[in-house]
A and B are shown apart, each in its own frame.
Chain A
Amino acid sequence: MGLLSYVARRLALLGLVLLGVSMVVFFVLRGMPGVDPLAAYIAPGLPMSQDALASLRRQLHLDEPLPLQYVYYVANLLKGDWGYSRTAAQPVLDALLARLPATVELAVAAVLLSTALGIPAGIVAALRKDRAADVAVRVVSITGISFPVFWLGIILQLVFFYYMGQLGLPTLPSRGRIGDTIALIDPITPMTGLYLVDSLLTGKLAFFGSALRHLVLPSFALSLIGLAAVVRIMRASMLEVLRQDYILLARSKGLPTRTIVMRHALRNAITPVLTTAGTTLGILLGGAVVVETVFSWPGMGSLAAQGILNNDSILVVGFTLFVATMMVVVNLVVDLLYAVVDPRVRY
């Protein structure tokens, strides 16, 4: 079977998964026992007459049978009408899209950081299996997943912003994406919305520096969520590859270990790490809700957290749908890239 038909089949599957996701989300929004779905649409405590409530219910098709409601719901989603968020005071999809770049910048930085730290750690652990370095890597990664990330974020602020400042040492910013002064006196024209990219494209290095410094603490805190998984997968996959015959052959040819690992083993061992990148990104997007809240990072996650405090379920559920869609699409892209890059993948 050719690549094209593989892509076609995967796209059809993507459609089915998204359909399933929309059903789960619809069920959460409208099918919860003991919850009147209308409540999600009105601000709590807002005085409304019975007539007004009834007409709103009709207008939102909440008086129709559930299957029909679902059809209306999906039709609206496809039209881009994801409901109106009281928290953001704008339509849900607009609010999420406006804050998407901030979240993407944070999540991508965290994915890069956790792979950059996790891949070498995994390799070292595999090469020194059951010896001190392996045990050390294992202990560190178990400790890493045991940290509550929101707490670690606050501690990082305490140390790198407050205590370092008290000692007169250089500090790292603890809130937001950019320094207030720089944003006022030398703003950039948004193109991609990613501050690092936009500032480089327009050559504003001071802005770039400030954005980068703001990114350090939150992306480090977030990267810890994915780090342990990367280490574990890399270690297991490296051990597996090192057992293969062609590694034995390379050894018997007298190649130095360094060459064997870097040229022969790594290329094959690294693929499981890359294929799980989509799932890791999903986990990180969940973690982003918490990390963005801690660092007042103006992304989708902190908006959703505000939505929770305002009982703005339309926004929170919209965020869930958005993140799930992102994750499904990223997983597909990773799989397709993998199929293109690795000739051994049979579709």
Chain B
Amino acid sequence: MLGQLASIRRSTVATTGAVLFVAIFVTGAVAPLVIPASVVRDVAFGARLSPPSARHWFGTDDFGRDLFSLVMLAANLDLRVALSVVLGALLVGTVLGAVAGLVNRLDEPIMRATDVFLSIPSLVLAMAIASVLGRSVQNLAIALVFVSWPIYCRLMRGQVLSEKQKPYVKSLRTLGVGPARMIFLHVVPNTLFPVIARAPADVGLILITMAALSYIGFGPGPYVPEWGSLVAAGQTYIFQAPWLVVFPGVAIFLTSLSLNLVGDWARDVFDPRLRS
């Protein structure tokens, strides 16, 4: 497994993606510590909508705030939400999938529920859930977990079912290994990697979905920087101050590109059907 992880260095494209993502991640983590909160709060109408310059690299928004700081600060919220949503979905999905694969009685009900969830387009379902819960970033994240777990569940169940058939399980059972030990120490670790291999690309997808939903109105409002809401706020001034839309959008694009580059490689390396 470590050997497979190390093979990332042989892929220039994936390495580029990984380096880019780490850079954005560090930016997001450090930004709130370095950039004073007053940048977001203080409005300066004299300096509103000024174009990119040496003083304001990305220009200023309609409140006269420095867009560069806002875009950097937004990395924090966007990455935090995208990562925790995928982590939550991964947790719920793999546990339910493992249960479905291991407990015959629960297989049918869990998988039928999964089918139903997968038959509703996820962005549309997330919209409905977040709308009923009330517009806030937290509710948006809950809604996204709600719609993202089924794919992991289906994948995990398939993995567990095929792993159960393998000869080593039978030999270990003959050796007297109990069911709990078998499941947690042998079967689950072997099934987990192909499931986790989906995660990087999914973080990218969730990031875009979240930005899109926050663009159409689920955003946190003007005093909490978030990429999708920044684009929405900038759209009003698109012909007058295009930088307001361009920079936050480029940030979303680069982040999701970096994750997709890593994800593309991860799928190739960990997909059991492609492994020789």
Assuming the contacts A28-B129, A146-B256, asked whether A311 and B135 have C-beta atoms less than 8 A apart, the reply is yes
Which residues from 191 to 238 on chain B have a C-beta closer than 8 Å to any C-beta of chain A?
A: 204-205, 208, 211-212, 215-218, 228, 231, 235, 238
Question: Cβ of B123: which chain A residues have Cβ within 8 Å of it?
Answer: 283, 286-287, 289-290
Q: Is A119 an interface residue (CB 8 A)?
A: no
Contact pick for A35, options B132, B235, B257, CB 8 Å: B132
Q: Is B167 an interface residue (CB 8 A)?
A: no
**Closest A residue, CB atoms, query B143:** A28
Contact stretch, chosen from A45-53, A212-220, A257-265, A320-328: A320-328
Distance of A25 Cα from B119 Cα, bound (Å): 12
Q: Is A305 an interface residue (CB 8 A)?
A: yes
Write the nearest CB–CB distance from A313 to chain B, whole angstroms: 5
Say whether B120 contacts A311, CB under 8 Å: no
Which residues from 113 to 136 on chain A have a C-beta closer than 8 Å to any C-beta of chain B?
A: none
Which residues from 225 to 257 on chain B have a C-beta closer than 8 Å to any C-beta of chain A?
A: 228, 231, 235, 238-239, 242, 245-246, 248-249, 252-253, 256-257
Contact pick for A324, options B121, B253, B260, CB 8 Å: B121
Distance of A40 Cα from B257 Cα, bound (Å): 38
Say whether A151 contacts B115, CB under 8 Å: no
Distance of A305 Cα from B132 Cα, bound (Å): 14
Contact pick for A24, options B116, B211, B252, CB 8 Å: B116
Which residues from 186 to 201 on chain A have a C-beta closer than 8 Å to any C-beta of chain B?
A: none
Assuming the contacts A32-B132, A154-B238, A155-B245, asked whether A142 and B121 have C-beta atoms less than 8 A apart, the reply is no
Write the nearest CB–CB distance from B245 to chain A, whole angstroms: 5
What are the interface flags for A304-331 relative to B under an 8 Å C-beta threshold, 1 for contact and 0 otherwise? 1101110101001101100110011001
Distance of A152 Cα from B217 Cα, bound (Å): 18
What are the interface flags for B119-156 relative to A under an 8 Å C-beta threshold, 1 for contact and 0 otherwise? 11111110111011111000000000000000000000
Compute the total of residue contacts between A and B using a CB distance below 8 Å. 154
Q: Is B261 an interface residue (CB 8 A)?
A: yes
Distance of A151 Cα from B115 Cα, bound (Å): 32
**Closest A residue, CB atoms, query B258:** A146
Write the nearest CB–CB distance from A83 to chain B, whole angstroms: 13
**Closest B residue, CB atoms, query A302:** B216
Contact stretch, chosen from A1-9, A15-23, A71-79: A15-23
Say whether A320 contacts B245, CB under 8 Å: no
Distance of A311 Cα from B135 Cα, bound (Å): 8
Question: Cβ of A142: which chain B residues have Cβ within 8 Å of it?
Answer: 257, 260-261, 264
Q: Is A82 an interface residue (CB 8 A)?
A: no
Total count of chain B residues near the partner, CB < 8 A: 47
**Closest B residue, CB atoms, query A320:** B128
Question: Cβ of B228: which chain A residues have Cβ within 8 Å of it?
Answer: 148, 150
Q: Is A147 an interface residue (CB 8 A)?
A: yes
Distance of A116 Cα from B134 Cα, bound (Å): 40
Distance of A294 Cα from B212 Cα, bound (Å): 11
Distance of A154 Cα from B238 Cα, bound (Å): 8
**Closest A residue, CB atoms, query B123:** A286
**Residue of B129, B235, B246, B261 ringed by the most chain A CB atoms within 10 A:** B129
Say whether B238 contacts A157, CB under 8 Å: yes
Distance of A162 Cα from B116 Cα, bound (Å): 44
Q: Is A108 an interface residue (CB 8 A)?
A: no
Contact pick for A151, options B119, B205, B252, CB 8 Å: B252
Say whether B208 contacts A148, CB under 8 Å: yes
Say whether A304 contacts B127, CB under 8 Å: yes
Contact pick for B217, options A139, A309, A319, CB 8 Å: A309
Contact pick for B245, options A29, A146, A151, A327, CB 8 Å: A151
What are the interface flags for A269-288 relative to B under an 8 Å C-beta threshold, 1 for contact and 0 otherwise? 00000000000001101110
Say whether B256 contacts A327, CB under 8 Å: no
**Closest A residue, CB atoms, query B263:** A142
Distance of A108 Cα from B242 Cα, bound (Å): 31
Say whether A282 contacts B121, CB under 8 Å: yes
Say whether A150 contacts B215, CB under 8 Å: yes
Contact pick for A146, options B127, B216, B242, B253, CB 8 Å: B253
Which residues from 163 to 187 on chain B have a C-beta closer than 8 Å to any C-beta of chain A?
A: none
Distance of A327 Cα from B120 Cα, bound (Å): 7
Question: Cβ of A85: which chain B residues have Cβ within 8 Å of it?
Answer: none
Interchain Cβ contacts under 8 Å between A and B, 12 examples: A20-B113, A21-B116, A28-B128, A29-B132, A142-B261, A143-B257, A145-B260, A146-B208, A151-B249, A282-B121, A286-B122, A327-B119
3 closest residue pairs by CB, A with B: A20-B116, A286-B123, A151-B249
14 additional A-B pairs beyond A146-B253, A290-B212, beta carbons within 8 Å, are A17-B115, A21-B120, A24-B116, A28-B125, A35-B133, A35-B134, A148-B208, A158-B238, A158-B239, A294-B235, A316-B128, A317-B128, A327-B121, A331-B119
